[in-house]
A and B are shown apart, each in its own frame.
Chain A
Amino acid sequence: MMETCVADCHAESVPDYTPLSQLRDLQLQRLQAVVTRAWQQVKLFRSRMDERGFVPQDIRSLEDISKLPFTQKSDLRDTYPFGLFASPMKDVVRLHVSSGTTGKPIVVAYTKEDVDVWTSVLVRCLAGCGLHRGDIIQIAYGYGLFTGGLGAHYGAEGLGATVVPASTGNADRQIMLMKDFGVTAISCTPTYFLHLIERAAELGVDMKELPLRAGVFGAEPWTEPMRKRIEQMSNIEAFDIYGLSEIIGPGVGCECRQHQGLHIFEDHFYPEIVDPETGEPLPDGSEGELVLTTLSKQAMPMIRYRTHDITMLLPGKCECGRTLRRIGRIGRRSDDMLIIRGVNIFPSQVETALLQIEGTLPHYQILLTRKQGLDQMEVQVEVTPQMFTDKIGALQGLHDSLQEALDRVLGIRVRISLVEANTIERSEGKAKRVIDRRTS
């Protein structure tokens, strides 16, 4: 099915369909401007370029981007709080803080123009998900220092939709609002939405009967089987949205209704795929680490930021007609690979295995310990109302099928523990998937 930008579609979606040559010209102009800005305004960027004998004028084509040094998350930590700002504080209208699981947090800044760009890309995300004015969108990301809530809020408002700024928490009230207001779309983490599905069932509310028709889910990696399970249980269309605070927040990319990868808003964020070991650029269609450069950011430009997300730029054009390139769904990060007794394991494999069992909702956590020099991996799975029966035999059956599925997918024996519901820690609705208690 072809989708073209017609009357129903938001005017801001027009850049999604920019002819390729025009898009590349625009990217080059903006890249030259942002590199110049970074070199002029940010000491760290300037000294890194100087070290390489690089001047902004060396950017003559988009390919020249590979001559620029990378930026790492540690650079944001080392320059905490304001060291990478390229605008004076009087022009900064917003600060967000990313929790950071280890060490110091990171701070990101936005000028008025940056907030407008952020809003516009989110409008394009939501429009691409088939949402428009007249939709009632519940934002169940955390509002506050986290970019999710306010980002999605501005986007939904910019679209002209009716926004229900529910933030996270209080599942019972979330469900009441969805039901009473006839909410048609929700944006939150997939984990939190699963929680809402479960809670709704407990309250006797059938999610399938609600007017809700779309969910825009992000801020944590989730798998294709998870999408299917969500769609089956709630009768909505589930979209994957991608973003990171360091670049702008949610809205760096999003699926369209084809669900064949996530379109990157390339007019604002330039994507590259590099070999995570060597940093060498890889052609479209090869898997590697996603590296992003902000093309229009004022307050805090990011040059070749290493996301650690492993994906590829999908070759070919999307059926929807957008000229924006797509990345494949992100299943793993270059830094989330676990090596257990010499076997490489990604948390997403665990999720895939658990979802093979009918009726399971994957609230799970991976616990790593070391016993007598040997790595031990335990997968804790919450027993939800759907999984619980009053019969020990049935619980043991569930335990055995989970064990079998994990053995098959992972290729090594891990321990499975059934744990009480709501006992696995969640923050901002994001599930913390791996707890590593191995001490070397």
Chain B
Amino acid sequence: MKIHQISLFVENKPGHIATPARLLAQEGVDIRALYLADTQQYGILRIIVSDWEKAARTLEAHGFVVKVTDVLAILVNDRPGGLADVLGTLEGTGINIEYMYAFSDVRGDEAILIFCFADTDVAIARLQAAGIKLMASKELLKQ
């Protein structure tokens, strides 16, 4: 159920996202989702790619500091209240969301949200118990 997300440390300067993007392009790695957390000075570029191992290898070989983080892809009804329902199942459980962002694709009437939890395993158990749909990596990256 876990999706391997690649995180990169980048300085907040012109051109600093272009280099990793170009390197991945050269290797034929497709960026499927992207989220940039930034401060004035630096940021963390988080990406979900078609081949995370190749992406990590390529970026590290070019001197980038890379972290692979487990995240979950959750299917949410694409209607008002869809997100509120998912979040509702987590309320009162003490499960902490580190960050979240939307995946660019939608599947039918469902949207895909990427969540990073402080404790991924606890979150999986809780979400599945509540009948929330989690996507496997293969399914998520299907074109």
Given A384-B65, A389-B67, A420-B64, A396:B10 Cβ within 8 A: no
What distance in Å separates the Cβ of A257 from its nearest Cβ neighbour in chain B? 36
A 39-70 binary contact with B (CB < 8 Å = 1; else 0): 00000000000000000000000000000000
Q: Is the CB of B42 within 8 A of A390?
A: no
- Contacting residue for B9 out of A202, A396, A417, A421, CB 8 A: A421
For residue B44, CB closer than 8 A to chain A, the reply is: yes
Q: Is the CB of A418 within 8 A of B67?
A: no
* Nearest neighbor of B7 in chain A, beta-carbon distance: A390
With the chains together, A280 CA to B116 CA distance in Å?
66
Cβ contacts under 8 Å, B7 to chain A: 388, 390
- Name the interface residues of A364-396: CB closer than 8 Å to any CB of B: 383-385, 388-392, 395-396
Cβ contacts under 8 Å, B44 to chain A: 390-392, 395
Cβ contacts under 8 Å, A421 to chain B: 9, 63-65
Q: Is the CB of B9 within 8 A of A420?
A: yes
What distance in Å separates the Cβ of B43 from its nearest Cβ neighbour in chain A? 8
What distance in Å separates the Cβ of A381 from its nearest Cβ neighbour in chain B? 11
Cβ contacts under 8 Å, A385 to chain B: 65-67
For residue B16, CB closer than 8 A to chain A, the reply is: yes
> Size class of A's contact patch?
10 to 19
With the chains together, A395 CA to B98 CA distance in Å?
14
For residue B11, CB closer than 8 A to chain A, the reply is: yes
- Name the interface residues of B84-138: CB closer than 8 Å to any CB of A: 98, 116
The interface size of chain B toward A, counting residues with CB under 8 Å, comes to 21
With the chains together, A202 CA to B60 CA distance in Å?
8
* Nearest neighbor of A392 in chain B, beta-carbon distance: B37
What distance in Å separates the Cβ of B11 from its nearest Cβ neighbour in chain A? 6
For residue A194, CB closer than 8 A to chain B, the reply is: no
For residue A419, CB closer than 8 A to chain B, the reply is: yes
For residue B39, CB closer than 8 A to chain A, the reply is: yes
| Interface residues of B, dominant DSSP | strand
Q: Is the CB of A419 within 8 A of B63?
A: no
Cβ contacts under 8 Å, A419 to chain B: 11, 42
- Name the interface residues of B6-53: CB closer than 8 Å to any CB of A: 7, 9-11, 16, 37, 39, 41-42, 44, 46
With the chains together, A422 CA to B62 CA distance in Å?
9
Cβ contacts under 8 Å, A420 to chain B: 9-11, 16, 63-65
With the chains together, A422 CA to B65 CA distance in Å?
9
Choose among A390, A395, A418 the residue with the greatest number of B CB atoms under 10 Å from its CB: A390
With the chains together, A346 CA to B79 CA distance in Å?
61
Q: Is the CB of B39 within 8 A of A392?
A: yes
Cβ contacts under 8 Å, A384 to chain B: 65
Cβ contacts under 8 Å, A202 to chain B: 60
Cβ contacts under 8 Å, A390 to chain B: 5, 7, 44, 46, 67, 69, 98, 116
* Nearest neighbor of A420 in chain B, beta-carbon distance: B11
Cβ contacts under 8 Å, B116 to chain A: 390
With the chains together, A384 CA to B9 CA distance in Å?
9
Cβ contacts under 8 Å, B66 to chain A: 385
- Name the interface residues of A171-209: CB closer than 8 Å to any CB of B: 202
* Nearest neighbor of B66 in chain A, beta-carbon distance: A385
* Nearest neighbor of B118 in chain A, beta-carbon distance: A391
What distance in Å separates the Cβ of B87 from its nearest Cβ neighbour in chain A? 20
Cβ contacts under 8 Å, A389 to chain B: 67
Choose among B16, B44, B66 the residue with the greatest number of A CB atoms under 10 Å from its CB: B44
What distance in Å separates the Cβ of B45 from its nearest Cβ neighbour in chain A? 10
Given A388-B67, A421-B65, A396:B11 Cβ within 8 A: no
- Name the interface residues of A406-440: CB closer than 8 Å to any CB of B: 417-422
Cβ contacts under 8 Å, A422 to chain B: 63
What distance in Å separates the Cβ of B33 from its nearest Cβ neighbour in chain A? 15
Q: Is the CB of A388 within 8 A of B65?
A: yes
Cβ contacts under 8 Å, A395 to chain B: 9, 39, 42, 44
Cβ contacts under 8 Å, A417 to chain B: 41-42
Residues of B within 8 A of A (CB): 5, 7, 9-11, 16, 37, 39, 41-42, 44, 46, 60, 63-67, 69, 98, 116
Q: Can you give 21 A-B contacts (C-beta < 8 A)?
A: A202-B60, A383-B65, A385-B67, A388-B65, A390-B7, A390-B44, A390-B46, A390-B116, A391-B44, A392-B44, A396-B39, A417-B42, A418-B41, A419-B42, A420-B10, A420-B11, A420-B16, A420-B63, A421-B63, A421-B65, A422-B63
Give the 9 A-B residue pairs with the shortest CB-CB distance, closest first: A422-B63, A390-B7, A390-B69, A421-B65, A383-B9, A388-B65, A392-B37, A390-B67, A388-B9
